[in-house]
Amino acid sequence: MTLSLLKVGVLISGRGSNLKALLDYQSKNRCHFEVSVVLSDKAEAAGLKYAEERGIPTVVVSRRPKSLTSEAFNAELVESLKPFAPELIVLAGFMRIIGANFLEAFSGNVVNIHPSLLPLFPGADGQAQAVAAKVLESGCTVHYVVPEVDAGPTIAQCRVPVLPEDTVDTLSARILQQEHQVLPAVVEAIAQGAVTQGQDGGVIFADSVKDTPLGKFL
Ligand code: GRF
């Protein structure tokens, strides 16, 4: 019997190590998803190479002209993704704000990975904020996306210690290791139907989630 794979669109802006983690997971496991397209808002995003190496289609949609409204830019993103029919969108270091029209087009099936324990330290520099605040622990959060930045319902979090001698770089590296584990686990759990979003936007975990790779993170 052939397995029907959930088509995933991954949006990046730079390095793409989380994209690589998803693609490595896909090639090493009998998983229930496949990355069907990778979109970047920057043609020079290093991470695009991971898709190209594997023959996965890539699309670049840059926000030009700068006068383009956020709504029009989001509409362009939707149009560019449509031919690849992604059923789940993963924001993996995508540095643009996702609008309500984008979320509607994908029925809210959009997740983001953020390098802090949300609701602490939202925004572009989650790791730097954690170091500056001298907290004892930080981590990463995978959450459903809502129009407010880094504010949607949490699917999973991973914790790491923040050491007194940590710099932004050492903490970022420690968090990133966890990101690379938990993001594929969340995508796989969604692909297996073990994580869904309720009518009210809340996260629903089926009992079967404990048998998915996400089980060990919950
Ligand atoms: C990650 O730290 C992710 O949490 C944040 O942006 C960074 C992207 O890194 N949203 P990479 O491009 O996946 O290497």
* Average pLDDT for the chain: 96
Q: Is 99 in the pocket of ligand 1 (CB under 6 A)?
A: no
Q: Given a cut of 70, is residue 38 above it in pLDDT?
A: yes
pLDDT at 181: 98
What separation in Å is there between the alpha carbon of 68 and the centre of ligand 1?
25
Q: How far is CA 17 from CA 114, 173, 201, in A?
A: 13, 11, 28
pLDDT at 2: 63
Q: Is the pTM of this model over 0.85?
A: yes
In the 8-state DSSP scheme, what is residue 157? E
Q: Is 139 in the pocket of ligand 1 (CB under 6 A)?
A: no
